[in-house]
Amino acid sequence: MSFAHDFPFDPGYGYSLDDLLAVEPPPEPADFVAFWRARYDRATAITPNPRLRPSADAHPRFRVYDLEYDSTGAFPIRGWLLTPTAAPPRRGFVLGHGYGGVDRPPLDLPRDDGAYLIPCFRGLSRSRRPPISDDPSWHVLHDIDRRDQYILGGCVDDLWTGISALLGLFPELAGHLGYLGISFGGGIGAMALAWDHRIGRGHLNVPSFGHQPLRLTLPSVGSAAAVQRYARTRSDVQTTLAYYDAAVAARYIRQPMHLAAARFDPAVAPPGQFAVYNAIRGDKRLFVLPAGHFDYPDRARREQNLLSQLWAFFGPL
């Protein structure tokens, strides 16, 4: 699939849909599971101490609160909490944003009966903090030469501690939690959900960080291009990236999952997105998008169809 564009490469990469559905995740490091389980144990030992105050932001169907909670390394994570005005929440959701960050809570939400925790991952949007750059092309390189300190691992921690914060505020929602992540938040979500079964169902939309070896070779724009440029001068970066591969992590996801993957995407190469979907071994559903990170005819209708699917998918929570 292709569209008229000005990129100096083909964002469809010559892959047919059958080709995309055949992309397998790469091999994993021998201690991959031990690395992530230890990290999960450290993050869930944190008491996040969520703090709320009424927000200047507004939503037609939800009360909006400014949120702050503590993540690993005493990093303060800021964002929003939304609670339904019509009735107490029956389920909870954590939303993971893209690399463009998030300036305000979204208006289109899949369920009106949920409480929504919307964290800004460390270094981005409301959680900006020097010396971390909020430019995606620099943020993605922060501590990339140090496996245990790499920024993506900290962002996974922020998701896990966010789940703890949501359950601290609404303990009655235990067993009724979902996750929705797009692009950057989709890749972070795959890495997090593989080990955290407090989340009962998840949706990943054009997830990033899938199949890192391929990601280093397929021409792209944005943060992927930044990693490619860096890797040309520092070959040891591949050692770190092997642990932060959303497709490898997806092998360990056991929750029912819904994925939206694009056939044409200049920022997150489609083979990496489909590698995440293909790696999931359990209950999974696929929504094929014509394109991601790119405007195209009929996009609004497609996104509305996707939202309708998510309303039904998260109903059993």
**Residue 304 falls inside a structural domain:** yes
Number of domains in the chain: 1
Q: Which residue has the tokens 């970066």?
A: 237
pLDDT of residue 1: 66
**Residue 8 falls inside a structural domain:** no
Return the exposure string of 232-256: e unless at least 16 CB atoms fall within 10 Å of the residue's CB, then b: eeeeebeebbbbbbbbbbbbbbebb
Q: Name the nearest CA neighbour of 106 among 204, 181, 20.
A: 181
**Residue 5 falls inside a structural domain:** no
pLDDT of residue 315: 92
**Residue 2 falls inside a structural domain:** no
Maximum Cα–Cα distance across the chain: 55
**Residue 12 falls inside a structural domain:** no
Looking only at the bridges linking them, the beta strands covering 76-84 and 284-289 are unpaired
In terms of Cβ atoms closer than 10 Å to its own Cβ (0-12, 13-18, 19+), residue 302 is middle
Q: Which residue has the tokens 């609404």?
A: 170
CATH assignment of the domain containing 143: 3.40.50.1820
**Residue 6 falls inside a structural domain:** no
Rounded Cα distance, 228 and 212, in Å: 10
Tokens describing residue 35: 């690395």
Tokens describing residue 135: 């430019």
**Per-residue pLDDT tens listing for the chain (317 residues):** 678 798 999 999 999 999 999 999 999 999 999 999 999 999 999 999 999 999 999 999 999 999 999 999 999 999 999 999 989 999 999 999 999 899 999 888 989 999 999 999 999 999 999 999 999 999 999 999 999 999 999 999 999 999 999 999 999 999 999 999 999 999 999 999 999 999 999 999 999 999 999 999 999 999 999 999 999 998 789 999 999 999 999 999 999 999 999 999 999 999 999 999 999 999 999 999 999 998 888 898 999 999 999 999 999 99
Tokens describing residue 45: 């030992």
Q: What is the 3-state secondary structure (H, E, C) of the chain?
A: CCCCCCCCCCCCCCCCHHHHCCCCCCCCCCCHHHHHHHHHHHHHCCCCCCEEEECCCCCCCEEEEEEEEECHHHCEEEEEEEEECCCCCCEEEEEECCCCCCCCCCCCCCCCCEEEEEECCCCCHHHCCCCCCCCHHHHCCCCCCCHHHCHHHHHHHHHHHHHHHHHHHCHHHCCCEEEEEECHHHHHHHHHHCCCCCCCEEEEECCCCCCHHHHCCCCCCCHHHHHHHHHCCCCCHHHHHCCCCHHHHHCCCCCCEEEEEECCCCCCCHHHHHHHHHHCCCCEEEEEECCCCCCCCCHHHHHHHHHHHHHHHCCCC
| Range 41-44 contact pairs with CB under 8 angstroms and sequence separation of 24 or more | 42/72, 42/157, 43/71, 43/72, 43/156, 43/157, 43/160, 43/161, 44/160, 44/161, 44/164, 44/196
**Residue 218 falls inside a structural domain:** yes
Residue 257 CB-half CA count within 13 A? 28
**Residue 154 falls inside a structural domain:** yes
Residue 1 CB-half CA count within 13 A? 16
Structural domain harbouring 277? 17-313
pLDDT of residue 192: 98
